[in-house]
Structure 1
Amino acid sequence: MDQYCILGRIGEGAHGIVFKAKHIETGEIVALKKVALRRLEDGIPNQALREIKALQEIEDNQYVVQLKAVPHGAGFVLAFEFMLSDAEVVRHTQRALAQAQVKSYLQMLLKGVSFCHANNIVHRDLKPANLLISASGQLKIADFGLARVFSPDGSRLYTHQVATRWYRAPELLYGARQYDQGVDLWAVGCILGELLNGSPLFPGENDIEQLCCVLRILGTPSPQIWPEITELPDYNKISFEEQAPVPLGEVLPDASPQALDLLGQFLLYPPRQRIAASQALLHQYFFTAPLPAHPSELPIPQRPGGLAPKAHPGPSNVHDFHVDQPLEELLLNPELIRPFIPES
């Protein structure tokens, strides 16, 4: 670990703390993810091992954050390519994203998801905070701590307590233990809706409220439109007043007909009816004016501060600051590496 020099702290995630660092020999800037260990004798958390496995399966894709190294030394640390910020910055722009910008973000997201699914990887926690943006405007998928190598035969059981609540598919909310890439496709739909709307489509405060948010827009699911729902563990435990679906055009009045059509193909109750990422890339939405913006035309986040109007080549406008502590001491500081309670 003595090959890196800490430049600053980027933030906290569900499974650890992330630092900006420089490789002393090469000068390369990286993001060091320090994985929180509850007790040393417990060994490396499963989430970290799964993240490494998933990223090894899909390495060298321009739409997935690259795992650079797993340095030896204090604690357990992963070295990733450095990215400026996450896609939640789109909520804080002074003006709404242009249609061409929304298309560009979604196109890059779909290319990353399509590549993951082609390699049998289900991310299981797609959300704006896990979509990172580079200095050149490139969007990349990050945080594979909940990812799984998918079993195509559907024989494996998984926990339903995955995906951040606002982006959690209905089958997960009903307690499904057998599911597939459909959970990612639902999350993509939620992200698209958020890009179009400027705020989350389904901002539930708890799991029951989350289902209510979905039902208010999509209507009450029935065995007629979703036959598998009766087999889900929590289907008979939860009952709601019958509600009719609301046209997506009323929810998102400023969205184009093509955007609404694509959104509707993601936000479907039956998981296997949701449009695949590879098919979505061929949707008419991406081939009607305005066309997707070039990454150089997208807002680029800066740390600290707001947004630059355009991407630009060269070094990022990030304020580097040096921490006058040896890396070994910094990473082992019990006040700094404290247990982190993940968001629901």
Structure 2
Amino acid sequence: MFPHGPGFVLAFEFLLSDLGTVLRAPGPLPPAQAKAFALMLLQGIAHCHSHRIVHRDLKPANLLISASGQLKIADFGLARVLAPESQRPYSHQVATRWYRAPELLYGARHYDEGVDLWAVGCIVGELLTHSPLFPGESDIEQLCCVQRLRGSPDPNAWPELTSLPDYNKISFQPMVPVPLEELVPDAPPPARTLLDALLQYPPQRRLPAHQALLHPYFFTAPAPATPSELPVPERRGRPHLASPCFRSERSLEPALPKPHLLAPYAPPPSLPLTV
């Protein structure tokens, strides 16, 4: 940090790429690599949440990768420190749409770290399938995408649902959840249970990050890859050809569509910064 005129400048480590670039490479990630990225993400979010910091904009493009293969959480422009005693309302227009929690889609002004946990679940699902789980083109379609795969939310299990500002403005035909065996068919059972624990409708039922780090998924074979075993691009836009996930410059092309339910990866639409 150094002064510059009336302000100051923060100098950060130069990070070579992001998880979105990794996910644009052809073919699925090896299970050990997907597990390693999920583990590092949860470690970072657990640290943030231990200090009552909620990020509010987790997505692959904001998860940067260092030259040594470490995943680091970036872009805290929408982050806030949540005071337990504060009743201050927050904007619901946060988080990039594909990773936006259902309570935000229903216009919630009071929320907590659960919005990050939903986004983590979306990213873990993307690591497992190499495709976004809920690629909505609008806020209404986004909520429909969520309900199409997770089923209609149950007010009995989520009592706060009916009091959300936009609950009575949005309605869909009743939908049944898609079994996780169909949603992530190539994932092992522990990965499915972790995904299910993160993608719960009631925010208070989502598995906290520090507990997710103890989930059996991370303690079953294969073990998470070490940073040196992860794909590390040489610089943005030009992957390291020695990495198994980056074989040629064709790796920058979008992945082919999956035959089951999911759309190919593409960068989601960004939102303007909101207080």
- The TM-score with structure 1 as length reference comes to 0.69
Match of 1:135 in 2: 67
Q: Does 1:305 align with 2:232?
A: no
> Aligned partners of 1:277 and 1:289: how far apart in 2?
21
How far is the alpha carbon of 1:152 from its aligned partner?
1.7
Match of 2:197 in 1: 265
Unaligned stretches of 5+ residues in structure 1: 1-68, 312-341
Secondary structure, counterpart of 2:61 in structure 1 = helix
Paired residues for 1:170-209 under 5 Å: 170-209=102-141
Q: Does 1:86 align with 2:18?
A: yes
Match of 1:112 in 2: 44
Paired residues for 1:26-45 under 5 Å: none
**Contact (CA 8 Å) 2:199, 2:206: kept in 1 or not?**
yes
In angstroms, what is the RMSD of aligned CA positions? 1.7
How far is the alpha carbon of 1:96 from its aligned partner?
1.7
Find the structure with the greater CA-based Rg: 1
Paired residues for 1:207-246 under 5 Å: 207-246=139-178
How far is the alpha carbon of 1:188 from its aligned partner?
0.2
**Contact (CA 8 Å) 1:154, 1:178: kept in 2 or not?**
no
> Aligned partners of 1:70 and 1:196: how far apart in 2?
42
The structure with more strand, counted as a fraction of residues: 1
Unaligned stretches of 5+ residues in structure 2: 245-268
**Contact (CA 8 Å) 1:84, 1:301: kept in 2 or not?**
yes
> Aligned partners of 2:148 and 2:2: how far apart in 1?
45
Q: Which has the higher contact order (CA 8 A, sep 6+)?
A: 2
How far is the alpha carbon of 1:151 from its aligned partner?
1.6
Amino acid at match of 2:45: V
**Contact (CA 8 Å) 1:300, 1:308: kept in 2 or not?**
no
> Aligned partners of 1:140 and 1:77: how far apart in 2?
20
How far is the alpha carbon of 1:78 from its aligned partner?
3.4
Amino acid at match of 2:114: G
How far is the alpha carbon of 1:76 from its aligned partner?
6.9
> Aligned partners of 2:8 and 2:141: how far apart in 1?
37
Residues 1:283 and 1:210: Cα distance change in structure 2 (over 3 Å): same
Aligned residues: 246
Secondary structure, counterpart of 1:300 in structure 2 = coil
How far is the alpha carbon of 1:95 from its aligned partner?
3.3
Q: Does 1:161 align with 2:161?
A: no
What's the % identity of the aligned pairs? 66
